[in-house]
């Protein structure tokens, strides 16, 4: 058996959908009418990811300040047949409750054979970048910290051995960002979800010194940065009339951008303990991109303001982790990436997830992989990285 | 020996640099003062590729209408040591003559052990997109057709067994484009260099029906479309302050975009004889991206306006070719791409080229590959695809 019964699946990339009352119940009274709230849209709504989808009035939508944001159906499709998939936003009463109810989620994880999971936000977007658009900056900060309080109190505290706590940040303000990292560290959070590239969000790049206090705080707290693909807010869209399949197929290129951006930046040289997980990017491209990065470094470093002594692939093997659901090419050639660099994902309740068959499909995908390597990929690499031992 | 003496290297991606007089000598008299001309810049010049480089007055530059375009030094570095590389534009008298002189080029190919080559343009950019910026559309068309006359008369006709004729098109006008394809076919041209994505150039996408008459003309002429990375004019720039190494490392993602864009478009379904070469994109990423495309098609095709019966990978294996200089990961796992899909490149005189050691380095790169496979990759695949038999 490639996936033996004693191996516990630890997913480093799942998603929760926030129940309607999260911010209404938790924000100070004066912010409730401006903060995130669920309503029936009276006007046409645009999808929150900027994928160019619009929806007719009558949709169940989030409002934040005066903006209307539709939820995409693709983000809550666990349990649906492929032929039922679509991009229409769904109502809460159309989702399976595991999307937004932690007790139900734990039951769904049990059905799927998944022991523990890291949860990315939905309405705030995968790195909390929704709140970067909020005009009232005090409301923006509170929206962000409220999500962290919510996930800790409603998901992690009741199931401390099932959910690895990961937080979002008010990253548009560096002082508030550092303060929140320190607060989260005190609360036992293990990870931060952060934009794969801050530039499209109107912020300084990883090549600047702007983020140094933040990276130092993350290092000091022994936390992991999780960069989920798409969190730059710049999806790989080739043409306005390209079918969505083009973007879905190319999402991994965003992870390539983030990987190369970091490897040629000063970040890992200035922050030798920093650890970065590239969420949902897949792994099959890693040998290619590291070979290309090293070859670029070999040929082009002399006239550029980049580190002259450490190869990019060396930095990758010390600082970065690749994440995948199934990836046949990457799994087959895992030795070219490094077994210790690989993390498994479930991606519940999104359309790439294999729920409720994750364990079965993962076992099949690892049929030619030795037991000790499977264990590291599906469980112990994640437990070590996120300091989340078996309970 | 992995690369035996009887194997002739056929490069599907080299570059020529146009000598200063090309357009001045060939354009009608009334266009000479507006057409492409070499001059000493009296103002600051911007690099022609939009990489954000600027150069002080005094640089040798091309002018076209009133615009000034600097040549990047990276584009004429054959024979330079890596530590001498830089991005400053070079003067013609600083280049080795093989850049712009066909007799010298043939000598340099002999030194390098390269028998024949396809040549991409330099000043017009790799797919002739420079002329899309020309305001006078009659001048634009003439600039484009002049390049084709120039390469035929000055490079191909004197050395018909050394240079595979490839042309550029006035692609901003579909009627003129079709007419030029037909003219080039009559002149014996074997290939067209075309933008990897027309959308950033302000033109309809591959998902529209706009290009159908053009694709049909290319099919009828039994020519090959060569999509060189970067020809969309949208290089993979992550941040304004990112070192150029980031962009160089990520250039292959542009080829991924082009590949996926075509595979999910109607193009190959409407044009069953169309053949596309993805120039300079590398090959190590192909197994990953085809797996991802197939998986996206498996999961997401039902609600999208894409072909419901043919897998993207099947289209790739019938219609597309990958090109590489050296690519260790791709070479090692060439069976996952298909030996018949692979083409070799020299890339003279660019900085990725191994000139004058192409034959030596290629032999080393193929040390573990059987002779019959090496022969197909370095020679016979290209001869078959471009209808360019041994003389």
pLDDT score of A254: 98
Q: Do B261 and A284 touch (CB under 8 A)?
A: no
Within an 8 Å CB–CB cutoff, is residue A289 touching chain B? Answer: yes
Of A81, A234, A250, which to mutate for an interface test with B (greatest number of B Cβ within 10 Å)? A250
Within an 8 Å CB–CB cutoff, is residue A293 touching chain B? Answer: yes
Q: Measured between CB atoms, which of A82, A246, A257 is closest to B250?
A: A257
**Residue A233: partners with Cβ closer than 8 Å, 6 or more residues away:** A50, A125, A129, A195, A200, A201
Q: Measured between CB atoms, which of A246, A288, A303 is closest to B261?
A: A246
User: How many CB pairs (< 8 A) connect A and B?
Assistant: 186
pLDDT score of B303: 86
φ/ψ region of B50 (left if φ > 0, alpha if ψ in -120 to 50, else beta) reads left
Residue of A nearest to B203 (CA): A239
Q: Measured between CB atoms, which of B208, B244, B299 is closest to A351?
A: B299
pLDDT score of B80: 77
List chain A domain ranges.
9-32+93-385
Q: Do B197 and A238 touch (CB under 8 A)?
A: yes
Distance CA B229, CA B225 (A): 13
Q: Do A82 and B302 touch (CB under 8 A)?
A: yes
**Residue A5: partners with Cβ closer than 8 Å, 6 or more residues away:** none
Distance CA B170, CA B370 (A): 43
Q: Do A288 and B298 touch (CB under 8 A)?
A: no
Q: Running DSSP on this structure, what letter comes out for residue A144?
A: H
pLDDT score of A105: 98
Within an 8 Å CB–CB cutoff, is residue A296 touching chain B? Answer: yes
Please report residues of A whose CB lies closer than 8 A to that of B291: 284, 327-329
pLDDT score of A154: 98
pLDDT score of A303: 86
pLDDT score of A41: 75
Count CB atoms within 10 A of the CB of residue A185.
18
Q: Running DSSP on this structure, what letter comes out for residue A193?
A: E
Q: Do B205 and A287 touch (CB under 8 A)?
A: no
Expressed in percent and rounded to 5, the helix, strand and coil fractions of chain B are: 40, 15, 45
Distance CA B218, CA B189 (A): 11
pTM score of the predicted model: 0.96
Complex ipTM, two decimals? 0.96
Within an 8 Å CB–CB cutoff, is residue A86 touching chain B? Answer: yes
pLDDT score of B78: 72
- Is A318 buried (19+), middle (13-18) or exposed (0-12) by CB count in 10 A? middle
The CATH architecture assigned to A9-32+93-385 reads Alpha-Beta Barrel (3.20)
Residue with tokens 């060189």: B228
Query: Consecutive 10-residue runs of chain A (391 residues): their mean pLDDT?
Result: 91 96 98 94 72 72 90 70 70 88 98 97 96 97 98 98 98 98 98 98 98 98 97 96 96 98 98 98 98 96 93 98 98 98 96 93 96 97 98 85
CA distance B261 to chain A (A): 6
Three-state secondary structure call for residue B125: coil
pLDDT score of B92: 86
Encode burial over A377-386: b for 16+ CB neighbours within 10 A, e otherwise.
Answer: bbbbbbbebb
Please report residues of B whose CB lies closer than 8 A to that of A291: 284, 327-329
DSSP symbols for A342-379: EEE---TTSTT--TT-HHHHHHHHTTTS-HHHHHIIII
CB B291 within 8 A of CB B252: no
Quick: pLDDT tens for B24-67. 999 999 999 999 999 887 777 777 766 666 777 777 889 999 99
CA A126 distance to own-chain centroid:
5
Tokens describing residue A260: 């190369």
pLDDT score of A79: 74
Within an 8 Å CB–CB cutoff, is residue A237 touching chain B? Answer: no
Q: Do A245 and B282 touch (CB under 8 A)?
A: no
pLDDT score of B51: 66
Please report residues of A whose CB lies closer than 8 A to that of B327: 288, 291
Of A241, A259, A297, A300, which to mutate for an interface test with B (greatest number of B Cβ within 10 Å)? A300
pLDDT score of B16: 96
Q: Which fold has domain B9-18+95-385?
A: TIM Barrel (3.20.20)
Q: Running DSSP on this structure, what letter comes out for residue B288?
A: H
Distance CA A137, CA A134 (A): 7
Within an 8 Å CB–CB cutoff, is residue A355 touching chain B? Answer: no
Count CB atoms within 10 A of the CB of residue A170.
23
Residues of chain B with pLDDT under 70: 1, 49-53, 72-76, 86-89
Q: Measured between CB atoms, which of B245, B261, B288 is closest to A301?
A: B245
């Amino acid at each position: 058996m490639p996936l033996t019964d004693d191996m516990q699946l630890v997913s480093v990339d799942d998603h929760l959908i926030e129940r309607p009352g999260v911010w209404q119940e938790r924000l100070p009274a004066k912010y409730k009418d401006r903060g995130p709230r669920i309503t029936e849209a009276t006007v046409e709504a645009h999808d929150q990811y900027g994928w160019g989808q619009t929806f007719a009035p009558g949709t169940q939508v989030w409002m934040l300040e005066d903006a209307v944001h539709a939820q995409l159906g693709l983000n809550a499709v666990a349990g649906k047949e492929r032929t039922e998939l679509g991009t229409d936003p769904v109502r809460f009463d159309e989702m399976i409750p595991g999307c937004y109810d932690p007790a139900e989620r734990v039951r769904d994880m049990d059905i799927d054979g998944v022991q523990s999971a890291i949860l990315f936000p939905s309405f705030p977007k995968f790195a909390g970048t929704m709140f970067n658009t909020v005009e009232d900056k005090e409301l923006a900060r509170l929206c962000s910290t409220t999500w962290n309080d919510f996930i800790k109190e409603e998901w992690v505290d009741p199931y401390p051995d099932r959910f690895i706590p990961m937080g979002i940040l008010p990253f548009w303000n560096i002082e508030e960002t550092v303060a929140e990292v320190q607060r989260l560290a005190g609360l036992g959070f293990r990870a931060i979800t952060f934009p794969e590239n801050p530039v499209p969000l109107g912020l300084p790049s990883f090549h600047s010194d702007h983020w140094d206090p933040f990276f130092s705080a993350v290092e000091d707290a022994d936390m992991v940065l999780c960069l989920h693909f798409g969190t730059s807010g710049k999806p790989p869209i080739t043409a306005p009339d390209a079918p969505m399949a083009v973007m879905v197929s190319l999402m991994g290129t965003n992870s390539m951008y983030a990987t190369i951006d970091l490897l040629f930046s000063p970040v890992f040289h200035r922050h030798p303990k920093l650890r970065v997980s590239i969420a949902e990017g897949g792994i099959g491209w890693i040998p290619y991109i590291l070979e290309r990065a090293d070859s670029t470094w070999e040929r082009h470093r002399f006239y550029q303001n980049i580190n002259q002594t450490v190869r990019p692939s060396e930095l990758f093997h010390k600082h970065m982790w690749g994440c995948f659901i199934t990836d046949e090419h990457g799994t087959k050639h895992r030795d070219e990436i490094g077994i210790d660099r690989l993390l498994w994902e479930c991606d519940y309740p999104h359309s790439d997830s294999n729920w409720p068959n994750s364990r079965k499909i993962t076992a099949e995908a690892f049929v030619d992989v030795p037991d000790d390597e499977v264990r590291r990929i599906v469980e112990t690499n994640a437990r070590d990285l996120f300091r989340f031992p078996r309970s």
